[in-house]
Chains A and B, each alone.
Chain A
Amino acid sequence: MRSVYVAGIGITSFGRLEYPLAEIAAYPAMMAMKDAGLTEVEQVYVANMGSGRINHQTGLASAVVDTLSLTPAGAEVIENGPASGASALKQGMLAVGSGMYDVVLVTGAERMREVNNLDATDFIATLTHPLSEYVYGVTLPAHAAMFTRLYMAKYGVTERHLAMVAVKNQNQAMTNAFAHLQQRITIEGILDSPEAMTNNPYVAEPLRFFDCCPVSDGGACLILVSEDAMAGVDRPWVRLAGVGQATDTHAVAERTDPTELTAVRLAAERSFAMAGCGPADVDVAELHDAFTILEIAESEEAGFFGKGEGHLALEQGETCHGGSLPINVSGGLKGRGHPVGATGIAQAHEIVTQLRHEAGARQVDDAAIGFTCNFGGFGNNVVCLTFIKER
């Protein structure tokens, strides 16, 4: 397979956006084209999960390619739940790597705040097993809460550890102008003060309000190109070096040990194997912290820390900005926001920004290898990406 490079990147502000979904997808694409200095694209992939259901719009790729005046480029929507973004990047990599195209634009967008929070939660819950989960009222917060309970019992993770992740990521988001949450929080305010239980009530015990990511609108884009095309681009050379994907049982109850996120482990291993590096080589990572517990668990399954030791690394400050492995310096899903279809691309956007050394106040020193984990379903379809800065 040919080498695949990131020529351009773009992103919208995350939060509540008041323009149409196709424009949420197109705006970061225009930024990415400007960033790369490219005006022609052969193929467009649009990552999106819910346009048909929550925005009453199908055929989104056709709308986006036309909005961008990129016709007659090929265009498809890639839907893989909350992992749609990284899945679309995988397709982009295959398209360029195979030699079929030289310039592929991968944009992701979601406009979730078109509906209220209850409808948004229900929409996400449609990815659960229809007969053994959804029909009984299982939602993603409920899944994550049950997972957290087991994790606490097995590994000694406490609510304080979860709050530490929430504070770390939400406060880190304040260094990211594109992030949804621009509100500082403290352990005192969400855990220790007499008012903490009201400020930070249980959503699905033991998960509290600040353990959950916000519902966001947003878009992000990467332009992937061949080595030949990259030669004409005046931007740092960041290579999409590894893609790993793995699936697990649709129903969580069918897993031998529900605390094992096997798909994360396998996807990470495959991504690292393809890139020719390992977890110890990674300088900065963006993990799918839709719920705070997931950052801890994924940091273990990806091989950064031993199983059951992620919360200990957190205690030591290893995952903070300035630590041995900064995780979610963008704010993560928790702070930057989680427009589901765009999230995987937003994670990649952050890593490329870091590897280009253009992240400003949140820049990780000497970042050369970056990693993302985009977690679909409740761990039943996971895509991991590894990026390497070449020059």
Chain B
Amino acid sequence: MAVDLEKTLRPIDADLPPYPAKWVTLASGDEMVIRQVGRDDVSTLLAHVEPLIHVERDYYDIVAARVYAELLAYHVHRVQDEYVLVAQIDGELAAVVNGRQVKPGLGMSLHTLALRRGLRIGAHAFAAKMEYHIDILGHDEVLVVAESPIGFRRWMIEYQLEERFDTPHELGGVPSYALTRELFERARRKLVVGRRPVPTELLAKAQEAILPPTDPPTAPADLLAATRARYDTTGTAVMMQRRIQEQGVHDA
């Protein structure tokens, strides 16, 4: 009985072609490998992603929480046609990106989580994800949203994504943007970089173990100030909320 129910609950994945690993030289001179991982690696990833759920800065908390859930769903077969790519520097996890195929020709970008800041690590990983959708999976469009201003700058502005506001995105049901094949081709030379094949030693180091980041993003020292910067650049919204709480009136 339980086995039969599992058959019902578990989606049947399409036979998606694998993402061929590549490597990128960062501004630091470090060599970063971007490769696909499978369900067996998820438990390791979860351990590295979980601490970021508690970082209330730059939307790390919500992105990490959602990535955690998506990885878990992938691990226990509760999402259809998802894939996960990781970026590693000397074995250390630098970024996790994921997405899924909605149907042939259409992709859905889920998340880009940079565990090491700076050096365009997240941007390189996002570009690899788009490369997977367009070049490998043959999608004509990838639906994208951003949860942070940094993401909006990196995806919507840098790639000049088109509006698909009549299509709700799976992340929160918000209006989607789309990376089309044409936009991808326009961005390819400028934003989509990396070399193949990955040198044997470099790839072996990455495959040996997914190590935790040595310098992950940390929680802000002053939560109120961080919250204020997050929602309102002038701080007036927070001040107003406080006044309402203290006085019990809305005097705006």
Contacts and interface: CB of A to CB of B under 8 A. Distances in A.
A194 B220 contact: no
A19 B225 contact: yes
A18 B229 contact: yes
B26 A19 contact: no
Interface string A191-221: 0011111111100000000100000000000
B233 A201 contact: no
Nearest to A56: B234
A300 to B, nearest CB: 28
Nearest to B127: A198
A194 B29 CA distance: 12
Contact of A18 (B25, B118, B193, B222): B222
A116 interface: yes
**Interface size range on B against A:** 20 to 34
B245 interface: no
Given A194-B193, A197-B190, A186 B225 contact: no
A376 B123 CA distance: 34
B190 A18 contact: no
B233 A189 contact: no
B28 interface: yes
A269 to B, nearest CB: 38
B216 to A, nearest CB: 14
A20 B234 CA distance: 12
B39 to A, nearest CB: 30
A183 B222 contact: no
Contacts of B27: 183, 185-186, 189-190, 196, 199-200, 210
A135 interface: no
Question: Interface majority SS on B: helix, strand, loop or mixed?
Answer: loop
B25 A189 contact: yes
Given A18-B222, A56-B235, A185 B194 contact: no
A194 B196 CA distance: 12
Contacts of B243: none
Contacts of A210: 27
A72 B48 CA distance: 53
Interface in A174-193: 183-186, 188-190, 193
B164 interface: no
A42 interface: no
A189 B190 contact: no
B186 interface: no
Given A18-B229, A114-B233, A186-B29, A195 B221 contact: no
A368 B119 CA distance: 37
Given A18-B229, A19-B225, A184-B29, A198 B191 contact: yes
Nearest to B26: A189
A351 B174 CA distance: 53
Contact of A199 (B26, B149, B221, B225): B26
B235 A116 contact: no
Q: Which of B26, B229, B236 counts the most A-chain CB atoms under 10 A from its CB?
A: B26
Q: Which of A184, A198, A200 counts the most B-chain CB atoms under 10 A from its CB?
A: A198
B195 interface: yes
Given A116-B149, A201-B190, A195 B229 contact: no
Interface residues of A, number: 26
A198 B28 contact: no
A196 B194 CA distance: 11
A188 B226 contact: no
B85 interface: no
A113 B220 CA distance: 14
Nearest to B118: A183
A185 B233 CA distance: 31
A229 interface: no
A115 interface: yes
A199 B119 contact: yes
Given A18-B225, A19-B222, A195 B233 contact: no
Contacts of B242: none
Contacts of A184: 28-29
Nearest to A166: B27
A185 B30 CA distance: 9
B10 interface: no
A198 B120 contact: yes
B24 interface: yes
A210 B28 CA distance: 11
Interface string B17-56: 0000000111111100000000000000000000000000
Nearest to B235: A56
A18 B221 contact: yes
Interface in B122-142: 123-124
Contacts of B234: 56, 114
B28 A189 contact: yes
A114 B29 contact: no
Contacts of B119: 183, 199
A181 to B, nearest CB: 8
Nearest to A116: B149
Interface of A: 18-20, 56, 113-116, 119, 183-186, 188-190, 193-201, 210
11 contacts: A116-B233, A183-B119, A186-B28, A188-B25, A188-B29, A189-B25, A189-B28, A190-B27, A195-B194, A196-B25, A198-B123
Q: Which 6 A-B pairs have the closest CB atoms?
A: A186-B29, A193-B25, A18-B225, A189-B27, A18-B222, A199-B27
Given A18-B225, A113-B229, 5 more contacts: A19-B221, A56-B234, A116-B149, A193-B25, A198-B123
Interface of B: 24-30, 118-120, 123-124, 149, 190-191, 193-195, 220-222, 225-226, 229, 233-236
